[in-house]
Amino acid sequence: MRTVNPIRQIVDKLRDEDMNPNKSKLSLSIGDPTVFGNLKTDKMVEEAIIKAVQEGKCNGYAPSMGRDDARKAVATRYSLKNHSVKMSDVVICSGASGALDICIQALCNEGDEILLPQPGFSLYTTLAGSKGIEAKYYNLKSNDAWKVDLEHARSLVTSKTRAILVNNPSNPCGSVYDAAHLKDIINFAEEFKLPIIADEIYADMIFDETEKFIHMAELTDTVPILSVGGIAKQFLVPGYRVGWIIIYDKMGYMNQLRDGIQRLTTLILGANTLVQGALPYIFEKVEPSFYKNLNRSLKESSDYTAERISNIKGLSAIRPQGAMYCMIGIDIDMFDDQINDDVEFSSLLLKEESLIVLPGQCFRMKNFFRVVTCPSKNDLVEAYDRLEQFCARHLRK
Ligand SMILES: Cc1ncc(COP(=O)(O)O)c(C=O)c1O
């Protein structure tokens, strides 16, 4: 009963039957890049799966930590200048969510505390709560590129704090931290001897073509980092359900924890074997142009989103720098009496415009809402036209 998904509680209030019957449904709410039909995975990913099926070697159970070839492929791809990753440092999981579950359980017992971002991906709350682990939420600064408020984080640390989770690039913010800020977070973790769970599922999905994505582990040899990743977003295949944990721990602080992680992987009989078998081929064959094109397309949609929002009275957004989301602030005082918070805003938007957005409260951020920037340009144009008309209609006179 303590397993609660906060999104469900809020989104269940936004029901399809409440939509405007005269307008087609337009959804900017689902963090699944495949549902809009315009973003397709690479041909080589499909080929890799077909090959794995036809070879017939991936029909059985794999070791609970993952197939050797998949673990080696992840180790090679994510070895960093300062960390040579070995197969034994990689754990293949059922998606990044499965990886997060294992990381949180491995580091925290019931009654322990974990630092989570606010706003943040709601699954963190669900996973911690389900195990009786207390979530302490550190603020991200909406007026400073969604950077971590380290002073606030500092005020939350107690003798029961076991880890800090950092999500970069961020869902729901679309923010990407630079090396200096990541280093500040690492220094904070070092000061309090906290290991970092780095949710890097959106790794490399950044828009500035002159920059390279920075893994947190690149910036430290001393703070142990569990980096969580997967193929869901970057390869546009969330349904394949393969993710991983990479243990970056030069100092060996996590030697005991490795045993705990290994034990936890035996709770289910492993991640999808077929996709694991396809992983080395996927990594080898997908050309850099695939990622480049995806990032360009997401950048275009994000820039378009930020530009349209900047012209809508009552709304504001920080231009996303990566991932596939944008958080939009609602200046509640500018709206009429029908709109008193983000949930009322979103439900009225659904009712009048058949447009679905996720209220910020799903991410513990009142008076914001999140849009997904994956839909086609045509859908985004239509969505923001409707949003603009809706806001104009409901501005306080
Ligand atoms: C920040 C973040 N972490 C993890 C996940 C889960 O990824 P997976 O589909 O690989 O379980 C998501 C999915 O939306 C996400 O946004």
Q: Positive or negative CA dihedral for 31, 165, 319, 341?
A: positive
Give residue 199's pLDDT.
98
Q: What is the mean pLDDT of residues 318-346?
A: 97
Say how far apart CA 78 and CA 48 lie, in whole Å. Answer: 20
Give residue 171's pLDDT.
98
Listed residues 229, 262, 285: the one ending a domain: 285
Shortest-distance atom of ligand 1 to CA 242:
10
Give residue 129's pLDDT.
97
Residue 120 predicted with pLDDT over 80? yes
Check whether residue 186 and residue 304 sit in a common domain.
no
Check whether residue 217 and residue 198 sit in a common domain.
yes
Check whether residue 271 and residue 293 sit in a common domain.
no
Residue 80 predicted with pLDDT over 90? yes
Say how far apart CA 316 and CA 302 lie, in whole Å. Answer: 13
Residue 15 predicted with pLDDT over 90? no
The protein residue with its alpha carbon nearest to ligand 1, atom 14, reads 31
Q: What is the mean pLDDT of residues 137-152?
A: 97
Give residue 249's pLDDT.
98
Check whether residue 206 and residue 354 sit in a common domain.
no
Q: What CATH number is attached to the domain comprising 359?
A: 3.90.1150.10
Look at residue 85 and tell me if it is in a domain. Answer: yes
Check whether residue 125 and residue 223 sit in a common domain.
yes
Identify the domain containing residue 91 by its residue range.
43-285
Contacts of 25 (CB under 8 A, 6+ apart): 16, 19, 354, 356
Look at residue 1 and tell me if it is in a domain. Answer: no
Distance 388 CA to ligand 1 centre (A): 30
How is the beta sheet containing 113-118 ordered, strand by strand? 90-93, 243-248, 225-230, 196-199, 161-167, 113-118, 134-141, 147-148
Distance 96 CA to ligand 1 centre (A): 5
Is the CB of residue 238 less than 8 Å from the CB of residue 272? no
- Lowest mean per-residue pLDDT among 10-14, 181-185, 255-259, 316-320: 10-14
Q: What CATH number is attached to the domain comprising 135?
A: 3.40.640.10
What tens digit of pLDDT does each residue of 145-201 get?
999 999 999 999 999 999 999 999 999 999 999 999 999 999 999 999 999 999 999
Check whether residue 103 and residue 171 sit in a common domain.
yes
Q: Name the residue among 381, 129, 377, 390 with its Cα closest to residue 369.
A: 390
Check whether residue 107 and residue 69 sit in a common domain.
yes
Listed residues 223, 257, 285: the one ending a domain: 285
Check whether residue 51 and residue 35 sit in a common domain.
no
Check whether residue 296 and residue 152 sit in a common domain.
no
Check whether residue 161 and residue 65 sit in a common domain.
yes
- Lowest mean per-residue pLDDT among 5-14, 38-47, 94-103: 5-14
Q: Report the domain count for the chain.
A: 2
Token readout for 337 is 């009496």
The dihedrals phi and psi of 308, each to the nearest 5 degrees, come to: -65, -40
Q: What is the mean pLDDT of residues 191-215?
A: 97
- What is the 8-class DSSP label of residue 237? -
Check whether residue 177 and residue 293 sit in a common domain.
no
Shortest-distance atom of ligand 1 to CA 94:
11
Q: pLDDT band at residue 6, thresholds of 50, 70 and 90?
A: confident
Listed residues 269, 285, 301: the one ending a domain: 285
- Lowest mean per-residue pLDDT among 15-24, 108-117, 255-264, 265-274: 15-24
Check whether residue 317 and residue 207 sit in a common domain.
no
Say how far apart CA 241 and CA 234 lie, in whole Å. Answer: 13
What tens digit of pLDDT does each residue of 83-113 get?
999 999 999 999 999 999 999 999 999 999 9
Distance 73 CA to ligand 1 centre (A): 21
Q: Which residues line ligand 1 (CB under 6 A)?
A: 31, 95-97, 121, 167, 171, 199, 201, 230, 232, 238, 243
Say how far apart CA 323 and CA 169 lie, in whole Å. Answer: 6
Q: Which residue has the higher pLDDT, 12 or 73?
A: 73
Is the CB of residue 372 less than 8 Å from the CB of residue 30? yes
Shortest-distance atom of ligand 1 to CA 120:
1
Average pLDDT, the chain: 96
Instruction: State the DSSP string of 312-338.
Output: STTEEEPPP-BTTEEEEEE-GGGB-TT
